[in-house]
Amino acid sequence: MHDLIQEMAWELVREESKEEPGKRSRLWDSNDVYEVLKYNTGTKSIKGIALDMSKIKDLPLSSEVFARMRKLKFLIFYNFGSDEFRLYLPQELKYLPNELKLLQWDNFPSKSLPSTFSAEKLVSFEMRNSQVRMLWHGKQNLVNLRKIDLTESYNLMELPDLSEALNLQEVYLLNCTSLRDLHPSILSLHKLEILRLDWCEALTCLRCDIPLRSLCELSLYDCSRLTVFSVTSENLRRLNLAGTAVTELPLSITSPGKLETFSLVEGRRLDTRSSSGDLMHLGKIHTGDNYMHLDVSNLRFLNDGLRSLEASPHETSMFSSLAVLLIVGTELRSLPASIKHLFRLRYLRFDSSKRLQSVPDLPSSLGQLIAIDCPSLETLHFSSTTSRLVKENKIRFDFQNCAKLDEHSFKLIGSNVMGEIIKSVPAIEKCCFSNGKVEVIYLGSSVPEWFPHRTTQAPITIDLYSALHCSENWGFFYCVIVPESPSIEWIRVECEACLEICYVDWDLTYKYYSLSERHDHFTSDHVFICYDESFCSEIREKLKKSVADDQSNTLKPKVSFNIWVHYGSGEFHNRQEGSLDMKECGVCPTYASEYRSFIEQMDLQLKSKTDAIEMGHGSSSKNEQRPEGFVFPPLPRGTWKHEIKGLGDILSL
């Protein structure tokens, strides 16, 4: 119904002038907009223009292209995900309509706006990836302005006086690498809520002597030359100073206690030493000869990369709301035992902590523990409580590039791998897995034995004839060996399924895709396993529809899988992407009803393994009831029937 109403509205606008688009009130069709701009046929009838610039050829514009569009209120030239310039101005633009309320012009090609332009009625002003160096000279009445976005305007040198923008709420200046100073008027606006200055590498100082009333988010991520910072707000909730050179913080930065997220990764110049240690740097921050006491009772997210992480249980209790803790580059060999007193901690992650050797017992609230690039990490000292959480699959592990982990820790991770696989059972049986996808990564160099289809050369083809009249749900696990890749920044696994429906006289092919989350580089081979319910359900539904449409009962379906490991490195203009050579991949079909008995056998070993861990043993107990082998559940008939040996490669890793 929505599409029908929209089409009716478009038709009404076309009726305004069938032959001359320039006389219509609104233009949205790329061909119509291109014609009006190219031949300069716009009129005062036009009130709104929207153009997807990726759909047109390069077009030089007249300096007076908008001169006859005096009533234009909405101008949107967008080019999402691209920095290509499609609209050019051989001469500087001479005119923009003063009636404009929304001005969005991605890749704006000029150095400034026309000197005659009055922005009094402007509400939203967006020029991402523009060539602009300055907007205008002097002061303008900007009483209606709510938003400014000049993200990735690399040539922007300065902003004008915005003291008249009394209702301005959001300012986005991300990656404006030439911006050296922020006009002080911006920090006098008491309705300003969001200020993003990430990657403004030329910025050296941000100072405001008067506390702001409404500012709740301030981000200066990777402003590497920023040394002076003194901005406060009674409503500040999110503050990001990661990657800056700030050495002192204002004393009153969180006095009202509303700060929820404070990021200081790589803020290595900040002196945070205190006599009693400083858990997560927030208990006391050293500023010259004074200590700043922060009210952190409401803090839920902490991104911390400081050198020390030691505290007493008393100091730990200050962080009663902390749920997420990220630690980058710590020099510690072991975390303090008092971390177990963070009773609301749900997510704990270590990155590039080269000296970290052991992890102590953790709070029972923890749901996810991730360690990336911790080459010295050897031992997970988990109590019976934490081991029980593993057995109940209430905690998830991800240890990437941690090759020194001992056998005890590997067995605990192995149990967790099985738990992650068990998670997918509701998806297969009910098609309603909460996240739609299960991803498991662990150290290894071969596809597990329980994958009946394994190869070193794609594709893998599976006959689906036996699934044609199956009343129960089925799906596929796919697996690939992610090779050692220390020189790249990230990898992503993609699985393509080509469903081929073969009739007597013709064939039809449909393609479906599953794409993993992005993962950091790997310093050794890892096993990647995924079950994607959305991906599987698309294949099932298409096959069911094909069966319903098959009058001659001659359908012969099959599905072929190709799996790639994509990689990437570099940022923006220097980005490099490609695909790694595949070592081995595999596909394992699943069938819901008999799959449950298979999972129960897996769970039996899962329980016995974690029971052994609870008792402090590195191997299974003598009285452990162990099935001799696992049989992967076959479909009632057809080519999916395979007898599979045990899960030794997962249990032993």
Question: Do the beta carbons of residue 454 and residue 573 sit within 8 Å?
Answer: no
With bands split at pLDDT 50, 70 and 90, how would you rate the model's confidence at 69?
A: very high
Q: Which residue has the higher pLDDT, 305 or 110?
A: 110
pLDDT in tens, 122-157: 999 999 999 999 999 889 999 999 999 999 999 999
User: Which residues pair with residue 510 across a beta bridge?
Assistant: 499
With bands split at pLDDT 50, 70 and 90, how would you rate the model's confidence at 302?
A: low
Question: Do the beta carbons of residue 478 and residue 471 sit within 8 Å?
Answer: no
With bands split at pLDDT 50, 70 and 90, how would you rate the model's confidence at 314?
A: very low
pLDDT of residue 418: 58
Residue 648 has pLDDT above 70, yes or no: no
Residue 228 has pLDDT above 80, yes or no: yes
Burial profile 109-136: b = 16 or more Cβ within 10 angstroms, e = fewer: bbebbbeebbbebbbbbbbbbbbbeebb
Q: What is the mean pLDDT of residues 214-240?
A: 90
pLDDT of residue 348: 85
Q: Smallest Cα–Cα separation from 375: which of 346, 354, 396, 397?
A: 354
Q: Which residue has the higher pLDDT, 188 or 425?
A: 188
Q: Which residue has the higher pLDDT, 86 or 69?
A: 69
pLDDT of residue 486: 72
* Most confident of the following: 97-106, 336-345, 543-552, 599-608: 97-106
pLDDT in tens, 353-381: 888 888 887 787 877 788 888 888 888 76
- Mean pLDDT rounded to a whole number for the chain: 76
pLDDT of residue 350: 82
Q: Which residue has the higher pLDDT, 55 or 430?
A: 55
* Most confident of the following: 19-23, 68-72, 342-346, 439-443: 68-72
pLDDT of residue 509: 86
Residue 441 has pLDDT above 70, yes or no: yes
With bands split at pLDDT 50, 70 and 90, how would you rate the model's confidence at 75?
A: very high
pLDDT of residue 405: 79
Q: Which residue has the higher pLDDT, 271 or 335?
A: 335
pLDDT of residue 372: 82
pLDDT of residue 107: 93
Residue 288 has pLDDT above 50, yes or no: no
Residue 283 has pLDDT above 70, yes or no: no
Q: How far apart are CA 116 and CA 137, in angstroms?
A: 11
Residue 291 has pLDDT above 50, yes or no: no
Question: Do the beta carbons of residue 488 and residue 579 sit within 8 Å?
Answer: no
Quickly list DSSP for 608-624.
HHHHHHHTT-SS--TT-
pLDDT of residue 396: 65
Residue 431 has pLDDT above 90, yes or no: no
pLDDT of residue 573: 45
- Choice among 41-45, 387-391, 411-415 with the minimum mean pLDDT: 387-391
Q: How far apart are CA 542 and CA 653, in angstroms?
A: 37
Work out whether strand 490-502 and strand 507-515 pair parallel, antiparallel, or are unpaired.
antiparallel
pLDDT of residue 488: 81
Residue 42 has pLDDT above 60, yes or no: yes
- Choice among 211-215, 226-230, 284-288, 390-394 with the minimum mean pLDDT: 284-288
Q: How far apart are CA 254 and CA 239, in angstroms?
A: 10
pLDDT over 70 for what percent of the chain?
Answer: 69
Burial of 35 (0-12, 13-18, 19+ CB in 10 A): middle
Question: Do the beta carbons of residue 190 and residue 169 sit within 8 Å?
Answer: no
pLDDT in tens, 523-571: 888 888 888 888 888 888 888 888 777 666 677 888 999 999 988 876 5
pLDDT of residue 627: 29
* Most confident of the following: 99-113, 407-421, 607-621: 99-113
- Choice among 63-77, 410-424, 526-540 with the minimum mean pLDDT: 410-424
Residue 204 has pLDDT above 70, yes or no: yes
Residue 306 has pLDDT above 50, yes or no: no
pLDDT of residue 66: 96
CA 284 to chain centre: 32
- Choice among 190-199, 358-367, 548-557, 609-618 with the minimum mean pLDDT: 609-618
Q: How far apart are CA 602 and CA 110, in angstroms?
A: 64
Cis peptide before 459 (omega within 30 of 0): yes
Q: Is the pTM of this model over 0.85?
A: no
Question: Do the beta carbons of residue 358 and residue 334 sit within 8 Å?
Answer: yes
With bands split at pLDDT 50, 70 and 90, how would you rate the model's confidence at 210?
A: confident
Q: What is the mean pLDDT of residues 37-61?
A: 93
